[in-house]
Chains A and B, each alone.
Chain A
């Protein structure tokens, strides 16, 4: 995907960083997506100006918030306290590498600290590759700038500037506020935080330019840096291609509060925001709808993956038969008895902690029979629209059951020349409804691509410790090859190759033959895939859902 004309992602990110460093408290921080020299250069710039602390992903509560250092306390026999990282980062910046892997518990803490007396800025380094992952949305929401630096090679020195203190910049006038509010509304941004960030960013930009009043160009920069990455829709009947050229023009407007001028300010701010909208969002919006919830960087992130078991606390027991020792809980159980046990030893108690078998605690994990059912639906002309409606109904019915089964549902549709992940794994009915509302149909049948997309999704899911289950809704016919070119023969071969790849990995799969008259192709496909085959010529949503539930392998205990 190419950048829109004139987009300067490094320049934008560098500017965002400058603005952030002028008002770290009010702007919260920034997301820097995409590892590489460009990002490293910016982090270096940050380090040169503000004290930076790194936040390791595996940090625990004690280290983060401060508290009793158990290990040191046990060793020395007296209470040793440690200050938390949040305290240490005060007045500086907390740098979070691999922010997309941050644990919910830690992101919750950080979000809370940012809502309170913040005192620190947050820089999230997002290394996610696809739009699937991303830093926790709760944190992304709380930082002003979302910059994407993936594949940016160009690095330029920071221009020398003489900023004035931001406090000296006069508050923006009503016209400026209206321009920002109107832009946010047109871009479908509901968060008030975004508006406030944009306002501060505009003032910071004025300060950076050495001015004490907010001008239109400040608003444009703020709209481009803060509002554009959060856009969830494009304003109606606007041609973004035209807007871009105009936005580069010099805008002449200083003072004057006439209605036409006000309108003009709104327009130019909106143009600036439109020009800065990420190209992939634009592409998706142009197709008709942003399929994933485009909030923050890189589209909607799966809210919470049900990873393997969650620790539930410990219970007494011996660490054998696969059970793991819960060290802290064991120590905790042993500690109160120490004086007594020492007394038992008489005058010469041994050194160290006296631990008895009865102190031993083992870990328990909540067993989550987590499973993701991936529907791969043939949305081509040959499968007709009715099929899609039934698949959609089945997905919704399954989601309604997820309270009980703890499973998630994802949906891949293939048609035309490619396959598309319409619904990333989710438990949310609301989200599913929105994603499925405009399920497109028609075109050729790229069966191979559909199978491959579903398999790749299944592999991603499997690495998270969740069990995927593939359900293919197809009549087995294919007429678009894996590389997107038409041709029945090649398409057939590619589909078989893709199917055997599924078999090799050994995921449980089900092929539902949706042809009005069951055909040998679908059955052959199921055989290649080592999947179950189920002809359901007249199936409706309910029947389909029941069939899938019945065919699904019993979830494995964690």
Chain B
């Protein structure tokens, strides 16, 4: 199926913004998407990956080495030539084994030549791209632990079957799930940078627009992509500008104080909340081309940065988003 243009997605504003923020600053550490099936979670993530310009890698390198990192992967890659490759979007299936994810002994070469060689797994494939996990709440905990660990460290370390391999694995982790089908452990949730809630737009005209666009895309994928190319280009420029600008943006002290105050007010545990809030606000400011990080940026990203970190009171049914909004209203009017 041809990819759906990112800018042609109807609604889903929060998710789109979270993805853009994560694309500008991958160090934010992944996006968790909550929502029912069929609400376009994976479509949006896929669309963003497809939007990004092709990356330059060393030719035939299985680890997508950058040209200036030539020869640093376990293979090692020796080709002097480079080639362009699409930004990888790896869809991790439920029930994937540790072998598939981490990589394992290359059985074929072991059989044929008696060689002990490493067969890279999905983590290597996702390097410099996106790793999407549908129904992450149904994934086995030990795998989720492992993935979050690699996502945070940017490196996959394999010590098993007599292999000792280390390779880069930097990717934007996108998890999705429906909380009605089992929840994610709070410890794991906390390690996701951002979280968003996705719902199908309820307005009829928006739904009709979705159907219309999907039908148009199905009928003529190329023509549809061409129609949206200009819009997609704009988004692309925005990301590129954001990435460039990110390094020079500083967060003023007042904004820092605001963030600390908000985190305390909503009772977000740990430092990770504040750090992510700061990073996300900065990335958003960079994305918007702002000169400095302001309170507005912080307020815009506060729900997605904090919503999944609030300590839960089981018998209090107030949604996390509501609690954050309330705190924002109290603190900043």
For B94, B98, B142, B312, which residue has the most chain A Cβ atoms within 10 angstroms? B94
With an 8 A cutoff between CB atoms, is B1 at the interface?
yes
Q: Could you say which residues of chain B place their CB within 8 Å of the CB of A403? A: 183, 185-186
Smallest distance from the beta carbon of B39 to chain A beta carbons, Å? 6
B149 within 8 A of A: no
Which residues in B have their C-beta under 8 angstroms from that of A396? 314-315
CB distance from B16 to the nearest CB of A (A): 15
A304 touches B138 (CB 8 A): yes
- In the complex, A137→B180 CA distance in Å? 12
Interface membership of A151, Cβ < 8 A: no
The CA-CA distance from A304 to B184 in the complex, in Å, is 13
Asked if B159 is at the interface of the complex by the 8 Å CB criterion, the answer is no
**Contact status of A304 and B207, CB under 8 A, knowing A68-B107, A171-B215, A190-B39:** no
A73 touches B183 (CB 8 A): no
Roughly how many angstroms separate A54 CA and B180 CA in the complex, as a whole number?
Answer: 31
| Residues on the B chain within 8 Å of A339, using CB | 114
Q: Of B1, B95, B140, which is within 8 A of A118 by CB?
A: B1
Please state if A433 and B317 are interface contacts (CB–CB under 8 Å).
yes
Residue-wise interface mask of A (405-448) relative to B, using a CB-CB cutoff of 8 A (1 in contact, 0 not): 00000000000000000000011111101100000000000000
The answer to whether A49 has its CB under 8 Å from any CB of chain B is no
Whether B214 lies near A196 (C-beta < 8 A) is yes
Listed stretches B24-32, B77-85, B198-206; interface member:
B198-206
Instruction: State A261–B215 Cα separation when bound (angstroms).
Output: 24
Query: Which stretch, A100-108, A454-462, A527-535, touches the partner chain B?
Result: A100-108
- Contact A293/B40 with A118-B1, A178-B204, A433-B317 known, Cβ cut-off 8 Å: no
- Tell which of A2-10, A328-336, A468-476, A489-497 binds the partner: A328-336
B182: which of A178, A304, A336 is its contact (CB, 8 Å)?
Answer: A304
Known contacts A177-B212, A181-B208, A190-B200; A332/B135 CB under 8 A: no
Within 8 Å by CB of B207, from A118, A181, A426, lies A181
CB-contacts of A170-203 with B (<8 A): 171-172, 174, 177-178, 180-182, 184-185, 190-196, 199
Distance (whole angstroms) from the CB of A393 to the closest CB of chain B: 6
Bound form: Cα–Cα A203–B67 in Å: 50
Q: From residue B220, how far is it (CB to closest CB) to chain A in Å?
A: 11
Cα–Cα distance between A551 and B10 once the two chains are bound (Å): 52
A112-B93, A137-B181, A336-B114 known; A180 vs B211 contact (CB < 8 Å):
yes
* Binary CB contact string for chain A from 339 to 356 against chain B (1 if under 8 A, 0 otherwise): 110000000000000000
B91: Cβ under 8 A from any A Cβ: yes
B39, B115, B135: the one contacting A192 at CB < 8 Å is: B39
Interface assignment of A40: CB less than 8 Å from any CB of chain B: no
Check B105 against A109 for contact (C-beta < 8 Å): no
Interchain CA distance A137-B99 in the complex, whole Å: 26
A107 to B116, CA, bound (A): 32
B223 at the interface (CB under 8 A from A): no
Please give, as numbers and ranges, the residues of chain A lying within 8 Å of B39 by CB-CB distance: 190-192
- Which range holds the interface residue count of chain B? 35 or more
B180 to A428, Cβ gap below 8 A?
Answer: yes
B93: which of A108, A141, A196, A434 is its contact (CB, 8 Å)?
A: A108
Asked if B252 CB lies within 8 Å of chain A CBs, one says no
Is the C-beta of B161 less than 8 angstroms from some C-beta in chain A? yes
Interface digits, A62-98 against B, CB 8 Å rule (1 contact, 0 not)? 0000001010011001110000000000000000000
Which parts of A274-319 form the interface with B (CB within 8 Å)? Answer: 293, 295, 303-304, 310, 312-313
Which chain A residues lie closer than 8 Å to B207 at the CB level? Answer: 181, 184-185, 192, 195
Least CB distance from A80 to B in Å reads: 10
| A430 in contact with B138 (CB, 8 Å) | no
CB pair B199 A190 closer than 8 Å? yes
Shortest CB-to-CB span from A227 to chain B, Å, is 12
Say yes or no: A115 contacts B38, CB within 8 Å.
no
Complex alpha-carbon distance, A433 and B317, angstroms = 9
Given contacts A108-B94, A333-B161, A428-B181, contact A138 B108 (CB under 8 A): no
Partner of B204, one of A109, A181, A295: A181
Q: What is the 8 Å Cβ interface bit string for chain B, positions 189-223, against chain A (1 contact, 0 not)?
A: 00000000001101011011011101100110000
B38, B181, B215: the one contacting A191 at CB < 8 Å is B38
State whether B94 touches A105 (Cβ < 8 A): yes
Q: Which residue of A lies closest to B99 (CB)?
A: A313
At the interface, yes or no: A549 with Cβ under 8 Å from chain B? no
Contact A192 B179 (CB under 8 A): no
Query: Is A250 at the interface (CB under 8 A from chain B)?
Result: no
Chain A interface, DSSP helix/strand/loop, else mixed:
helix
Residues of B within 8 A of A310 (CB): 140
Neighbouring A residues of B162 by C-beta, 8 Å = 336
Point out the residues of chain B lying under 8 angstroms from A485, CB to CB.
none
The answer on a CB contact under 8 Å between A181 and B211 is: yes
Alpha-carbon separation in the docked complex, A336 to B117 (Å)? 10
> Please, which residues of chain B bring their CB within 8 A of the CB of A199?
211, 215
Query: A137 contacts which chain B residues (CB < 8 A)?
Result: 37, 181
Cα A180 to Cα B138 with chains together (Å): 32
Query: Which A residues are in CB contact (< 8 Å) with B108?
Result: 68, 73, 79
**Closest CB in chain A relative to B131 CB, distance in Å:** 13
| B142 in contact with A293 (CB, 8 Å) | no
Looking at the assembled complex, report how far the CB atom of B248 sits from the nearest CB atom of chain A, in whole angstroms.
Answer: 39
In this assembly, does A209 line the interface, its C-beta being within 8 Å of a C-beta of chain B? no
Give Cα distance in the complex from A333 to B104, angstroms.
12
Cβ of A335 and Cβ of B107 under 8 Å apart? yes
Separation in Å of the A203 CB from the closest CB of chain B?
9
Nearest-neighbor residue (CB-CB) of A437 within chain B = B317
Whether the Cβ atoms of A366 and B142 lie closer than 8 Å is yes
Q: Is A154 an interface residue (CB 8 A)?
A: no
Tell me the residues in window 165-188 of chain B with beta carbons closer than 8 Å to chain A beta carbons: 179-183, 185-186
Chain A 114-155 per-residue mask, 1 if CB under 8 angstroms from chain B, else 0: 011110000000000000000001100100000000000000
* Closest chain A residue, CB of each to CB of B115: A336
> Which residues from A are CB-within-8-Å of B180?
293, 303, 428, 430-431, 434
0/1 interface trace, chain B 32-52, chain A, CB 8 Å (1 if under): 000011111010000000000
B164 CB, min distance to chain A CBs, angstroms: 14
CA distance A467 to B204 in the complex (A): 47
B80 → A minimal CB distance (Å): 30
Q: Is the CB of A111 within 8 A of B134?
A: yes
The answer for the CA separation of A503 and B22 in the assembled complex, in Å, is 57
- Residues A141 and B183 in contact in the complex (CB < 8 Å), given A181-B208, A199-B215, A396-B315: no
Residue of A at shortest CB range from B112? A79
Chain B, residue nearest A167 (CB) = B219
Q: A106-B95, A195-B211, A428-B181 are in contact. Are A138 and B134 (CB under 8 A)?
A: yes
Contact of A112 with B91 at beta-carbon distance under 8 Å, contacts A68-B108, A181-B207, A185-B207 already known? yes
- Given A171-B219, A190-B36, also A430-B93 (CB < 8 A): no
In the complex, which residues of chain B have a beta carbon less than 8 angstroms from the beta carbon of A196?
A: 211, 214-215
Q: Which residue of B lies closest to A430 (CB)?
A: B179
Does B96 lie at the interface of the complex (its beta carbon under 8 Å from any beta carbon of A)? yes
B111 within 8 A of A: yes
- Among residues of A, the one whose C-beta sits closest to the C-beta of B314 is A400
A177: which of B112, B208, B218, B312 is its contact (CB, 8 Å)? B208
A-chain residues with CB within 8 Å of residue B300 when the two chains form the complex: none
Are B186 and A73 within 8 A (Cβ)? no
- Name the residue in B111, B140, B183, B185 with the highest tally of chain A Cβ atoms < 10 Å from its Cβ: B111
CA distance A44 to B100 in the complex (A): 38
Closest 4 pairs between A and B when the two form their complex, measured CB to CB: A105-B95, A191-B38, A108-B94, A303-B181
A-B contact pairs, 11 of them (CB 8 A): A117-B1, A177-B212, A181-B208, A193-B37, A303-B181, A303-B182, A313-B98, A366-B140, A397-B315, A427-B182, A428-B182
Residue positions of B touching A, CB distance < 8 A: 1, 36-40, 42, 91, 93-100, 105, 107-108, 110-112, 114-116, 134-135, 138, 140, 142, 161-162, 179-183, 185-186, 199-200, 202, 204-205, 207-208, 210-212, 214-215, 218-219, 312, 314-315, 317
A26-B218, A185-B204 given; 8 more Cβ-contact pairs under 8 Å: A106-B95, A172-B215, A182-B204, A190-B36, A191-B39, A426-B182, A428-B183, A541-B315
